[in-house]
Amino acid sequence: MALPIAPGTYPIDTLHSQLSFAICHLGISVIRGMFDRYSGALYVGDELAATVVTVEAEMASINSGNRDRDEHMFGPDWLDVANHPQMTFRSTSIVEAPGGYTMTGDLVIRGITQSVIFTATYNGSTVFPMDHSTHFGFGATGSIQRSAFGVSYGLPLLSDEVQLTLDAQFVLPASET
């Protein structure tokens, strides 16, 4: 089985995509944030098994809506951005699942690699009217345990579980239209 997209390399359109996270505070509310700077691509193979998603995010681009909180997260208590400036993800397996796909891959945070699982959906394709490029929409959501990446500051005030979400549009390169 393959994705309903021709084989090729499709860069992520970061202007029309979001990479976000959510963490529970005190067990009663959720703090949400986004990465303002990231990149990635969808490499579609002839078969689903040959398809790969990559994402690289600048950790110093985290934006939770509170600059003081964000700057604390950049420090050694949390993400140690000075020594670990990027978070990376590379899928190792994408398989069909009810309602979409299950995407497994290697996530690297603070230099620690963990296998993570995302539930993914294909949302369809359309032609962007501004430049007539073809866009393909996907969503992927999964949870990680931040302590598995050496980020245990503030437990249990802040949950160990962090939800990661990628709402992405991948673009057919102009040379392939």
- At residue 84, the 3 state secondary structure works out as coil
- At residue 69, the 3 state secondary structure works out as helix
Rounded Cα–Cα distance for residues 87 and 111 (Å): 8
Q: What is the pLDDT along the chain (177 residues), one digit of tens a residue?
A: 677 899 999 999 999 999 999 999 999 999 999 999 999 999 999 999 999 999 999 999 999 999 999 999 999 999 999 999 999 999 999 999 999 999 999 999 999 999 999 999 999 999 999 999 999 999 999 999 999 999 999 999 999 999 999 999 999 987 655
Predicted confidence at residue 3, as pLDDT, reads 79
* 85 Cβ contact partners less than 8 Å away, ≥ 6 residues apart: 58, 59, 60
Whole-model pTM: value is: 0.94
Instruction: Report which residue type is found at 81.
Output: V
Bond before 85 cis per omega within 30 degrees: no
- Alpha carbon distances (Å) from 42 to 8, 108, 110, 168: 8, 18, 24, 10
Out of 3.10.50.40, 3.30.70.790, 2.40.128.110, 3.40.50.150, select the CATH number for domain 8-176: 2.40.128.110
Tokens for 75, please give them: 């420090």
Block residue for tokens 């309602």: 99
Tens digit of pLDDT for each residue in 96-112? 999 999 999 999 999 99
Tens digit of pLDDT for each residue in 140-154? 999 999 999 999 999
- Alpha carbon distances (Å) from 28 to 23, 142, 158: 11, 20, 10
